[in-house]
Amino acid sequence: MSRTPHPPEFPRPRLGVSACLLGESVRYDGGHKRHAFVVEALAAHVDCIPFCPETGIGMGVPRPPIQLVGGRGTARALGVQDPAMDVTARLQQYTDDRLAALGTLDGFLFKKDSPSCGLRGVKLFAAPGRGMRRSGTGIFAAAVNTALPLLPLAQEDELDDPLQRDNFITRLYTFRRWQVLLDRGLTAATLESFHVAHRHLAMAHSQACAQRLSRLLRSRDDNAIVTTGRHYLQELLTGLAHPATRARHSIVLSDLAGRLVPRPDSAHRSDLSRQLDAYRDGQLSLSEALRALREQFRQCEPATPAGLGEAYLYPYPDSLRADQARSIMDEN
């Protein structure tokens, strides 16, 4: 981690993305579902790896549509016009082959409602064309979730909600930073540094999670650091799945402000307090509150502990924040 949390060089996550969201004409009807935020904002910072299970198993474009039939966990992917066409096993095999070929990924972004890629709320029929409930998961998405349970996953409608978008991108970059840590070598010291940078991020999502992470490190066995690291990542990603709230952000912002060394002079301290109070009262955006706190960190270097709060102050590139992304969505 850097000595102080001024803008770090963000690692580029590798994100599996439903090809239709990238504008590729691979849908059953020959069309696409190009998503402006993905193509015009996210792809500038993330390596988007396209996939389409249905074309991947040779179904072609256009192709007969499929539907999920059966119960949750036992659904089959059958043809809509010809229910005798069952492509379930081929989709499952595609998952195994694709994941093996892709290597390490840091997350997946799926197309909603797709019987192969939908993550949740997909139409599930009790029998072909009858007894529909929106309780299904696409065959490919379900297989990915089973094979890689810690991997950050989302479907594109979550990117249209600022809170859900922030949550997914935060988890995506956190997972990438963990992979960078593993590549450089996991030791007790590097894990401790990672925690210093990420503890306040965890606090914003779950105070209980942050406490469990700290206890885990205090009781760690340095001879079993790989096991400790695996437990740490699982706990961290589980905690980050909880949405951060304004109240928890306010607590974290105040906590970090109180840890600045040396303390800002009275004028700067009063100005920072006013801005953090304005955020707490809903009169200031999180981006503005973070900007004010970042400036104080810059002025206090190098005395403030190395890496303190870095992943909270800079969880991902600012251009991916909701207020920046909204302008892109409004233009399209």
Torsion sign across C-alpha atoms 197, 200, 202, 207? positive
CA nearest neighbour of 192 among 298, 301, 308 = 308
pLDDT (tens digit, 9 = 90+) per residue, 1-45?
444 446 778 999 999 999 999 999 999 999 999 999 999 999 999
- Percent with pLDDT over 70 in the chain: 94
- Give the mean pLDDT of 123-144: 96
pLDDT number for residue 2: 42
Q: How far apart are CA 247 and CA 206, in angstroms?
A: 11
Which DSSP state fits 83?
T
Q: How far apart are CA 251 and CA 245, in angstroms?
A: 10
Preceding amide of 302 cis, omega within 30: yes
pLDDT number for residue 267: 78
CA nearest neighbour of 28 among 77, 94, 70 = 77
Mean pLDDT lowest among 101-105, 150-154, 312-316:
101-105
In the three-class reduction of DSSP (H, G, I as helix; E, B as strand; rest coil), residue 111 is classed as coil
Cα-based distances in Å from 99 to 74, 113, 253, 279, 315: 22, 22, 39, 43, 27
Q: What confidence tier does 257 reach under pLDDT thresholds 50, 70, 90?
A: very high
Q: How do beta strands 122-127 and 107-110 pair?
A: unpaired
What would you report as the CA-atom Rg of the chain, rounded to the nearest whole angstrom? 22
- Give the mean pLDDT of 54-81: 96
pLDDT surpasses 50 at 243: yes
pLDDT number for residue 3: 44
pLDDT (tens digit, 9 = 90+) per residue, 68-86?
999 988 999 999 999 999 9
Residue 41 near residue 33, CB atoms below 8 Å: no
Alpha helices in 65-154 (DSSP H): 88-102, 139-147
pLDDT number for residue 69: 98
pLDDT number for residue 72: 85
pLDDT number for residue 270: 87
- Give the mean pLDDT of 260-286: 88
Average pLDDT, the chain: 91
Mean pLDDT lowest among 1-15, 43-57, 160-174, 316-330:
316-330
Q: How far apart are CA 63 and CA 180, in angstroms?
A: 41
Model-level pTM?
0.92
Strand partners, 76: 69
pLDDT number for residue 303: 52
Q: How far apart are CA 170 and CA 234, in angstroms?
A: 15
> Side chain identity at 276, as an amino acid letter?
L
pLDDT (tens digit, 9 = 90+) per residue, 288-307?
999 999 988 888 765 556 78
Name the burial class of residue 101, with classes exposed (0-12), middle (13-18) and buried (19+) by CB atoms within 10 angstroms of its CB: exposed
pLDDT surpasses 70 at 323: no
pLDDT (tens digit, 9 = 90+) per residue, 141-169?
999 999 999 999 999 999 999 999 999 99
Mean pLDDT lowest among 249-253, 313-317, 323-327:
323-327
Mean pLDDT highest for which of 98-102, 152-156, 323-327? 152-156
